[in-house]
Structure 1
Amino acid sequence: MTLRRFLFAFLILVATAASAAAQRATLSRSMVAAAHPLAVEAGLEVLRKGGSAVDAAVAVQMALGVVEPQASGIGGGGFLLYYDGTSHAITVYDGREAAPAGATPNLFLAADASGTLKPLPFREAVASGLSVGVPGAVALLELAHKEHGKLAWKDLFPSAIRLAQEGYSVSPRLAAWLEIITGFRNDPAARSIFYNADGGPKKVGDRVVNPALADTMRLIAAQGAKALYEGPIAEEIVAHVHAHVRPGTLSLADLADYHPIKREALCGPYRVWIVCGMPPPSSGGLAVLEALELLEPFKLSQDKPDDLRSLHLIAEASRLAFADRDRYVGDPAFVDVPVAKLLAPAYIAQRRKLISLDRSMGKVGPGDPSYPEHGTSHMTIVDRWGNAVSFTTTIEAPFGAQMMVRGFILNNELTDFSAQPEIDGRLVANRVQPGKRPRSSMSPTLVLDKDRRLVAAVGSAGGSRIIGDTLQALIGMLDWNLAPQEAVSLPRILNMNGPTILEDVPALTAQADALRALGHEVQVSRLESGLTAIRRVGDGWEGGADPRRDGVAKGE
């Protein structure tokens, strides 16, 4: 079963679950929007004590790792954009997981009966030691805190430690994923925490207590990130990866050598705004900007969100952006990613010529940028000083590699690499290489005005769908002037250079036949995303959290 089918099955299970968590918070001096109410409260508690947006992000991430363990945590990584409310500068932190030094381009290939190398079945690749990359989230947060924190590092952990030690109630999402990812119970530590004595998964409202995670967070609070990357915890991570039936090559040296990377924000114009996102190895910033620039002349403000014209144009622009993303984006330390050329006005104009109002172009190949002149959670936070964080954090698939160490789940981020290192005689940009960071679709985004004042912050969970979800939320706020809650609640249309996928809601399904008449291959499906957004309103902020998840947006 693919991850997409996992998600579909999950949504069938929880389609009738109440989404009371999707709330609108208006005109607050500070705000936190994240995927679980208890994590939002942890962030607000830090802000009340005088903490910064980065301080709150640490508290929110630690709490999410407790109450939303299927999506993110200590064993994962992420990308964070920080906006300084005084200098208007943006700092980008890359905490993406990295391939071990022992990884090879054939990491996920195995010989069939004839001896031919073929990719492992995806589920086997995910639930294995092969898929575990060096985690980066804790190192990223420690660096961001050193540069932008106001409270002591140890004072950002009490809420999460309390939740792990005293317990919390299982949410509908967590209960549903425990039903779906049946292999997770094979890990003894997971079985002792998330399953009942009869072997069945905990249900909605059941209590989960994770004292091992509380102890791990106490060590990290006292010793910093080195508690994870050196010593007994690191030794247990490596031992667990090597003991798996499909062992990986992760070593103590890989953990000790890991460092987050500070990068330059990828910014571009969209109408009267400046939109800034994550550069490679994430494809999110590039794909979102390319799609926005392709759409700019079409004056979407004249349309409604469910008009045929706007749906068609969003799908076609997304299709073009994904074609380029799939061909060109990889870790810039290993691949020459032609970012400037892909966003050059002449190149955008060339690609825009492929968009017709009368007909879909269908699956399209990448452009030629030598023409002259892509299990995750997201939080958005603004503090009382106008500093902001847009942070996408992940362990990749639900429950990651389905292995637990010291109360936390190990990521399976290496399955974000291409399993095939070579296609049609061409080396794949996103192939596995030692020390390389896999391509991502995470799209944490900040929007500035012409004076570089923060206008909005947005981002999403959802794998490769993150790009389309973030794009649509931006169009909702910027073109249709929707409040953040309205923008993140919009019915979804997605295109990843294949079928045009419509969320199964009447407003969009009513347009399915008209899109087919334009040549779209249309699929109607239940969809989830994990958007959170904050937008400036006068001297205050309002926020929104995706009604498809458990999250809330709350301010003070």
Structure 2
Amino acid sequence: MTATPLTAWRLILLSCSLLLVAATTQADERPQPGMVAAAHPLATAAGVEVLEAGGAAIDAAIAIQAVLTLVEPQSSGIGGGAFLLHYDSETADVQAYDGRETAPAAVRADHFLTEDGTPMDFLEAVPGGQSVGVPGSLRMLELVHEQHGELPWRTLFQPAICLAEAGFEVTPRLAEMLRIDLRLDLFEPMAGYFFPDGAPLRAGTRLTNPALAETLTEIANQGADAFYEGAIADDIVATVQAHGGELTREDMADYRAVERAPVCRSIAGYEICGMPLPSSGGMTVLQILSLLEIASAGTEDMSRLTWAHLLLEASRLGFADRNEYLGDAEFVEVPVETLLSERYLTERAALISPTQSMGKAAPGLSEPDSAMSDGKLIKHSTSHFSVLDTQGNAVSMTSSIEMPFGSRLMVDGFLLNNQLTDFRFDPLAADGRLHPNRIQPGKRPLSSMSPMIAFNADKQPRLIIGSPGGTRIIGYVAQRVADVLMQGHDVEAAIRSGSLVNRNGRTEIEADTDAEALVPGLEALGHEIEIDSMTSGLHGIERLPDGDIRGAADPRREGTVGGAQPPSQGE
């Protein structure tokens, strides 16, 4: 797919004073076209503007996330958390950055238990302050910018500030999300902002957010400290505590983003890297792909049905381990090396039959059924974007406020997350052991966000991809990475194809897609089928062997792809 024309959206941005000054490049820097794939045309346009002004991939990422806070508030924003993979073209290093939310210091083991000791209903736990973790996105972006940024921090918020002041058109997706039956009008000022006159905003309405413009201006001028230690932090704490939460000023000030070593594995001739814990995404995607590669190597009849079956069976095994063993590795012991070892994966792959589904898979290192409950049926709100800059640096970033519109608490123009509900509500597993994803002070909840970057043998990015979608993220991403790198499909065809997901239970088939044609064959192999709508938000960029760059935005959402031309060469 060639870059989507963004002329109209870029004209909107160009009407603002963006303070982005185009840089010149030296002749030996060999600039190339860049690309952005993001979930809203204005966010894509902002990223392209930054790249064409000489910005690095992380500079574009900051501008994109700031704009998404405004125009896609139901999905992500500065009130939530994120995971980011960064590739440095000069050193060929891959770094993983953890901006996941943390639990307040005052939480107790019974945080999500009722008076009789049973877990709260999920939808009762979401609204209000008790579900809010310390937001991590801004600290993380600041950390990456300090190491890899090119343009001044203060300039990167100008597109979002301008749009917040001038207004943007409410998209059909945002308008639709405001009509879901989740009591989104519980609290002010969110109710007044999204439900003026008591009715949800309509698509096409011009919406301004002067409070967010002021917030972003403070952050632009003072850095992330304005958010974590200044008046904004005071407002966050006051709002959370007024609605039953335990967040304090100390929790805000003590938050730290963490640079971690990515999890990487050689699969199908590519080095594929993902996020380490507390994201389960990187490990589980790599397990699925490795199991698929091993299982398919001994299968002669590789029809589309067989390939889908093997992928789904590999996913059963990956999710069995995910649900049993994974949590924040700073709080619980996780056998990471064992779970990704060649010996272990080969033993697990031997359980996959090409002619019969195994049904529910047991975890590979022990038998007790202590797994978490199946993935929540509520649609999670998350966003992913991929960036390749004109110097070859790359960012794959997934960010979230968890549920649509998070905790329903709006502060200074942005929404606060409900990420604490990603912890297991019951601290005990089914066999009585403490569960690895139980809530603890300062702990980061297990996530399924799966930003990925795959590399050719010459250590150049081959594929930059990720998706929203709750625990289904893992399946969405694994399927598309397999399609591109193992089946030879282009990224657009891979993203458009119907989704196939198995979270160690029923096989989920995306409704009204080409995947439905596989249902009879999968049922004959023993799969219990559930056909459902699956609103992924896959955004990917691939570099072909000849150097051509292609991007794709998921047609299930409102994203776009934008190409960026390199800044003019200096003498």
Range that drifts further, 529-538 or 403-412: 529-538
- Please tell me whether residue 397 in structure 1 is matched to residue 403 in structure 2: yes
Q: Give the match for residue 137 of structure 1.
A: 137
Q: What is the one-letter code of the residue matched to 2:418?
A: N
Return the alpha-carbon distance in structure 1 between the equivalents of residues 173 and 237 of structure 2.
30
2:81 aligned residue: 77
**Is contact 1:83-1:388 (8 Å) kept?**
yes
CA distance in 2, matches of 1:91, 1:507: 36
Cα distance between partner residues in 1 of 2:46 and 2:303: 37
Question: Is 1:275–2:289 an aligned residue pair?
Answer: no
Alpha-carbon distance between aligned partners in 2 of 1:553 and 1:505, rounded to the nearest angstrom: 24
Distance (whole Å) between structure 1 residues aligned to residue 395 and residue 348 of structure 2 = 33
Provide the residue aligned with 1:14 in structure 2. none
Name the counterpart of 1:49: 53
4+ residue runs of structure 1 moved beyond 4 angstroms? 20-25, 298-306
Give the superposition deviation at 1:297.
3.0
1:227 aligns with 2:233: no
Query: Structure 2 matches for 1:368-379, cutoff 5 A?
Result: 368=365, 375-379=381-385
Q: Where does residue 16 of structure 1 map in the other structure?
A: none
Q: CA deviation at 1:400?
A: 0.4
Residues 431, 200 of structure 1: alpha-carbon distance in 2 compared, 3 angstrom cutoff: same
Distance, in Å, in 1 between the alignment partners of 2:151 and 2:259 is 22
List per-residue Cα deviations over 1:251-276 (Å, max 9, x = no partner). Answer: 00000000000000100010110000
In structure 1, give the amino acid aligned to 2:149.
G
Q: Deviations along 1:141-189, whole A, 9 cap, x unmatched?
A: 0110010000000010111011111111111110111001542222221
The one-letter amino acid paired with 1:389 is V
In structure 2, distance between residues paired with 1:74 and 1:184: 19
User: In the alignment, does 2:359 pair up with 1:355?
Assistant: no
Equivalent in 555, 560, 564 of residue 552 of structure 1: 560
What is the aligned counterpart of 2:441 among 421, 424, 434?
A: 434
Alignment match of 1:458 (pick from 440, 453, 465): 465
Q: Given the alignment of the two structures, is residue 418 of structure 1 paired with residue 418 of structure 2, yes or no?
A: no
Q: 2:328 aligned with 1:328, yes or no? A: no
Relative to the length of structure 1, the TM-score reads: 0.91
Q: Cα gap change, 1:304/1:147 in structure 2, threshold over 3 Å: closer, same or farther?
A: farther
- Equivalent residue, structure 1, for 2:176: 176
- Indicate the SS of the match to 2:179: helix
What's the secondary structure of 2:273's corresponding residue? strand
Contact 1:23-1:545 within 8 A present in 2 as well = no
Identity of aligned residues (%): 47
Residue-by-residue CA offset, 1:444-497 (whole Å, 9 max, x unaligned): 101012222211111111110110000011011112222221121111000001
Give the whole-Å Cα distance in 1 for the aligned partners of 2:212 and 2:297. 48
The correspondence for 2:550, drawn from 538, 542, 547, is: 542
Q: What is the aligned partner in structure 1 of residue 389 from structure 2?
A: 383
Q: Report the counterpart of residue 483 of structure 1 in structure 2.
A: 490
Structure 2 portions without partners, runs of 5+: 7-30, 368-374, 376-380, 565-571
Deviations 1:193-226 (A, max 9, x none): 21222x0000111111111001000000000001
Offset of 1:523 from its aligned partner?
A: 0.4
Q: Secondary structure at the match of 1:428?
A: coil
Residues 384-437 of structure 1: per-residue CA shift (max 9 Å, x gap): 100000000110111000110000000000000000100221110000000000
Asked whether the equivalents of residues 493 and 502 of structure 1 are also in contact (C-alpha less than 8 Å), the reply is yes
Q: Distance in 1 between matches of 2:513 and 2:236?
A: 47
1:98 alignment partner in structure 2? 102
State whether residues 308 and 511 of structure 1, in contact with CA within 8 Å, keep that contact through their aligned partners in structure 2: yes
The change in CA–CA distance for 1:304 and 1:204 in structure 2 (over 3 A counts) is farther
Of residues 483, 508, 522, the one that matches 2:529 is 522
Secondary structure in 2 matching 1:94: strand
CA distance in 1: counterparts of 2:226 and 2:263, whole angstroms: 32
- CA offset at residue 191 of structure 1? 2.2
Q: 1:439 Cα shift?
A: 0.3
2:568 corresponds to: none
> Are the structure 2 counterparts of residues 337 and 451 from structure 1 closer, same or farther at C-alpha, using a change threshold of 3 Å?
same
Structure 1 residues 393 and 506, CA, compared in 2 at 3 Å: closer, same or farther?
Answer: closer
Residue 469 of structure 1 corresponds to: 476
Match of 2:316 in 1: 319
Identify if the C-alpha distance between structure 1 residues 189 and 333 changes in structure 2 by more than 3 Å, giving closer, same or farther.
same
Secondary structure of the 1:470 match is helix
Give the secondary-structure state (helix, strand or coil) at the position aligned to 1:183.
Answer: coil
Within 1, Cα distance between the matches of 2:109 and 2:249? Answer: 21
C-alpha distance after superposition, 1:337-372 (max 9, x if no partner): 1111001111111111211111111111211189xx
| AA in 2 matched with 1:66 | L
Amino acid at match of 1:258: Y
Secondary structure of the residue that 1:497 maps to in structure 2?
A: coil
Match in the other structure for 1:249:
246
Distance 1:232 1:506, change over 3 A: closer
Counterpart among 313, 335, 339 of residue 338 in structure 1:
335
AA aligned to 1:352 is: A
Counterpart mapping for 1:276-291 below 5 A = 276-291=273-288
| Secondary structure in 1 matching 2:463 | strand
Alpha-carbon distance between aligned partners in 1 of 2:303 and 2:238, rounded to the nearest angstrom: 52
* Secondary structure of 2:562 counterpart: strand
Residue pair 2:3, 2:562 contacting (<8 A) in 1 also:
no
C-alpha spacing 1:549/1:28, structure 2 compared with 1 (3 Å): farther
Equivalent of 1:58 in 51, 55, 62: 62
**Offset, 1:518:** 1.4
CA distance in 2, matches of 1:525, 1:305: 26
String of CA shifts for 1:70-119, please: whole Å, max 9, x gaps: 000010010000000111101111000000001112110012xxxx3111
Q: Distance in 2 between matches of 1:301 and 1:383?
A: 40
Match of 1:211 in 2: 210
**Structure 1: runs of 5+ lacking an equivalent:** 1-19
Change in Cα spacing, 1:22 to 1:204, as seen in structure 2 (3 Å) is farther
Give the whole-Å Cα distance in 2 for the aligned partners of 1:74 and 1:305: 45
* Partner Cα distance (2:515, 2:441) in 1: 44
SS of residue paired to 1:110: coil
Distance 1:334 1:174 in 2: 37
Distance 1:411 1:260 in 2: 17
Partner secondary structure for residue 118 of structure 1: coil
* Distance in structure 2 (CA, Å) of the matches to 1:241 and 1:21: 45
Taking the aligned partners of 2:228 and 2:302, their CA distance within structure 1 comes to 47
Partner of 1:6 in structure 2? Answer: none
Aligned 8 A contact 1:76 1:97 in 2: yes
- DSSP 3-state at the match of 2:84: strand
Question: Do 2:96 and 2:261's aligned partners in 1 also have CA atoms closer than 8 Å?
Answer: yes
Give the letter aligned to residue 486 of structure 2: D
Alignment of 1:28-43 (within 5 A): 29-43=33-47
Mean Cα deviation higher: 185-194 or 248-257: 185-194
Counterpart residue number, 1:9:
none
Which region of structure 1 is more displaced relative to structure 2, 154-163 or 448-457? 448-457
